[in-house]
Chains A and B, each alone.
Chain A
């Protein structure tokens, strides 16, 4: 029989060292008696630690778990850890088996310690013990942890309160942070901490942030168990708040609505004067498009995306509808399809900034799918509702040529959808005689996976844009 005594301060390192030696020497769990520093050794214990040889390999996940479990209150924790470590020797995959009863027990203990650490981070309440104007202020707290969590949690407080001195006194261990260094001392009795003026403000805050109309006492107690209440300054007012809540809620419901104060009329007059002004082009069309509710698309889109470009442009380019980025930024053709268009247009000498660029449908139509928005084709009803705005833009710009990109733009302008491949590259006429050159939509080029097909389609798009440039040049002469 061997005896291993683990000290209260530095228990994690001590247990790890002892377990490593026992494991290297091949000592089975039933031959070890684990005790604290003060515990008497087993009657038949061999006080000499065995000298093992050879390296010991242990799954990393076990070490992480053991370094938490050693802080549990259960006196059996060291023996349980070593027992499981012994089983792990030949079967490291046991660490991933959550159905194993020993591991489930250890994971449960790990969870208890984590929860206790978390509650310590939350419920330690400092009081100021030094002068408030000292260059380095000092604070102290009294806390009663359920497990031995002061040592593993001290680092959190050191990282958080780096510019002040603090001490956390507990019956178990006391942690002291002075001039940037953490040290540990034996546990102490409850000290007398001086009154702190901020504590009264904190209690005021706690009492007022509570909404008496939604009393959920069980939810509060499951997260803030009663055992912590005695050291929380704000907890003293909980019974009173609970007792008064129903009456306060009832009083709110029964109180008759009051007349508005005299200030209201004055404020509302002032408000009418400072409504934010529209910052786009001066005439009313963009603002009217912005306020459009002609079809249901406006409900889910961010904003209407209006046309952009010189109002005397010779060429008007009409796409399908705004995409994800256009919808967010409120500008047409700023997403990937716009970039494709710019590349090809640059090659054939079309200047986008000299054309008026717009869409057949002004709001983004999409289907939410998880964290993404999937583009959806607008239907004929939506296209015809939005035709109203496209007509207004055409009337304003009076372009010599309209370039309709894709089936939706073709449908909106000519009234006919489909057979796009046979219609592309030719000039058709809108019902009012407006010449419309039909071509592919640049996002079609982006969707093609096969490089060869993509190249062919890009060549066609190239040709069409060149046709447009030629038509504009001949019209000009």
Chain B
């Protein structure tokens, strides 16, 4: 086999990494290199340096260390039974690519993942070597996200957490049964244990010693995970139930939902359909309602009979259309909880309403200026100079928001 060039390896190993949705670079410790002794900074908010035509942001250099893998997960392009081209980066190659890309302002940092080679410990220790070299030899102060291998030794995870900003482990599929079916070598219990371990280490690193010394922060940007949507038969209630458990048990920063996308050289065990992008979008909206809008899981999922989210309208609007008895809400008197439930009002808009109404009565025109999406909100609120009248209870209210019906094709 001919020796691969760096460019060929980069092509293979970035192609192999694109099925991971996460590309966040926000929420870590603030640091910079103004003193001239290092490279890189982190100022809290993430930056997307480019966007691919799939609409996803490119913030980090997202690559696999190698796409050789000893596991056989049917949804994955890198499974052992696939005939995809294989490659492997050396430690120096990853370090150089990261630093040179960073110096040209292409990226915020590195997101390193890997297929499992030889054993979980051997793979994890190579990944830790890359992070160590970046931090200690190149004085790199940008963002590092490491994907951890569930069975790796605890010392490796401990070191990875001190070097990286974020650690993540993918739960892959919404139920244990689906994991057993599609990823026979992965153990859901072991993945949960690894996430528990990260949470415990993170909490232990927060305790200040008797001498007042603060230990180094462990994975300051927290941990995240990813679930593939649409590969197995789970409905949205199952998916969201799993993510609320993950958020509350392991204090995850994010659960990413990734619509199952057909892969080149795919396994015969999986559906080859168009990725359910709209479903993925609705799941993210529901995820936000659960975390920032005080919605409970059963409120969102009980709107439809089959436990799936309504694909035509967003989950908050779907809830409001079923519970019209609570509306219209008076923006000058309504409680914060009720204002947050108005379709078209976001958290910022609600905060602005609450501060301004201390001084004066709000009128309809004010709401648009405060950032509310009035096309949606107007049917559900009253304000100075505006009352929706019979609109709130009208039979065709849903039709105003849903996409227009389409004539079925005869052919």
Interface set of A (CB-CB < 8 Å, partner B) = 93, 96-101, 104, 118, 121-128, 137, 139, 141, 156, 158-164, 180, 196, 198-202, 204-220, 223-224, 232, 234, 238, 241-242, 245, 249, 252-253, 255, 257-258, 260-261, 263-264, 267-268, 270-271, 274, 276, 290, 298-300, 302-303, 327-330, 366, 368-373
CA distance A255 to B101 in the complex (A): 35
Among A98, A245, A299, A366: residue with most chain B CB under 10 A: A98
Nearest chain B CB to A138 CB, angstrom units: 10
A263 to B248, Cβ gap below 8 A? no
CA distance A447 to B335 in the complex (A): 31
Given known contacts A125-B104, A219-B55, A238-B53, is B80 in contact with A163 (CB within 8 Å)? no
B265-273, B321-329, B394-402: which one contacts chain A?
B265-273
Given known contacts A163-B38, A215-B54, A255-B265, is B356 in contact with A99 (CB within 8 Å)? yes
A125 to B106, Cβ gap below 8 A? yes
**Chain B residues, CB < 8 A from A268:** 70, 72, 80
CA distance A271 to B33 in the complex (A): 44
- A sample of 29 cross-chain residue pairs with beta-carbon separation below 8 angstroms, ordered by A number, consists of A93-B359, A97-B359, A98-B366, A98-B371, A104-B370, A122-B48, A123-B49, A127-B104, A128-B104, A159-B41, A198-B104, A210-B18, A213-B261, A213-B262, A214-B259, A220-B51, A242-B53, A252-B262, A260-B80, A264-B72, A300-B249, A302-B195, A302-B250, A327-B196, A368-B244, A368-B247, A368-B248, A370-B291, A373-B248
Among B51, B176, B291, B363: residue with most chain A CB under 10 A: B51
Interface size range on B against A: 35 or more
CA distance A115 to B407 in the complex (A): 41
Which residue of A161, A303, A372 contacts B196 across the interface (Cβ within 8 Å)? A303
**Chain B residues, CB < 8 A from A232:** 50
B391 at the A interface (CB under 8 A): no
B56-64, B161-169, B308-316: which one contacts chain A?
B56-64
CA distance A302 to B197 in the complex (A): 10
Nearest chain A CB to B310 CB, angstrom units: 21
Given known contacts A98-B369, A159-B32, A162-B33, is B196 in contact with A216 (CB within 8 Å)? no
B299 at the A interface (CB under 8 A): no
B92 at the A interface (CB under 8 A): no
B40 to A160, Cβ gap below 8 A? yes
**Given A98-B370, A160-B33, A258-B265, 10 additional A-B pairs, CB 8 A:** A162-B39, A163-B39, A180-B36, A201-B101, A213-B261, A213-B275, A217-B55, A220-B55, A263-B80, A303-B193
Given known contacts A260-B80, A302-B249, is B355 in contact with A245 (CB within 8 Å)? no
A201 to B7, Cβ gap below 8 A? yes
**Chain A residues, CB < 8 A from B6:** 201
Q: Mark B60-89, 1 if CB is under 8 A from A, else 0.
A: 011100000011100000001111000000
B254 at the A interface (CB under 8 A): no
Which residue of A100, A216, A249, A328 contacts B277 across the interface (Cβ within 8 Å)? A216
Nearest chain B CB to A158 CB, angstrom units: 6
A-contacting residues, B193-223, CB 8 Å: 193, 195-196, 199-200
A137 to B189, Cβ gap below 8 A? no
Name B203's closest neighbour in chain A (CB-CB): A328
Which residue of A141, A162, A249 contacts B35 across the interface (Cβ within 8 Å)? A162
A371 to B103, Cβ gap below 8 A? no
CA distance A207 to B53 in the complex (A): 10
Name A245's closest neighbour in chain B (CB-CB): B53
Nearest chain A CB to B69 CB, angstrom units: 9
Nearest chain A CB to B251 CB, angstrom units: 7
B347 at the A interface (CB under 8 A): no
B9-17, B337-345, B374-382: which one contacts chain A?
B9-17
B336 at the A interface (CB under 8 A): no
A274 to B50, Cβ gap below 8 A? no
A96 to B355, Cβ gap below 8 A? yes
**Chain B residues, CB < 8 A from A98:** 352, 355-356, 366, 369-371
Nearest chain B CB to A177 CB, angstrom units: 11
Given known contacts A202-B104, A258-B83, A268-B72, is B52 in contact with A210 (CB within 8 Å)? yes
B47 at the A interface (CB under 8 A): yes
B405 at the A interface (CB under 8 A): no
Q: Mark B167-198, 1 if CB is under 8 A from A, else 0.
A: 00000000110000000010001001101100
**Chain A residues, CB < 8 A from B63:** 205
Given known contacts A122-B48, A216-B277, A368-B248, is B55 in contact with A164 (CB within 8 Å)? no
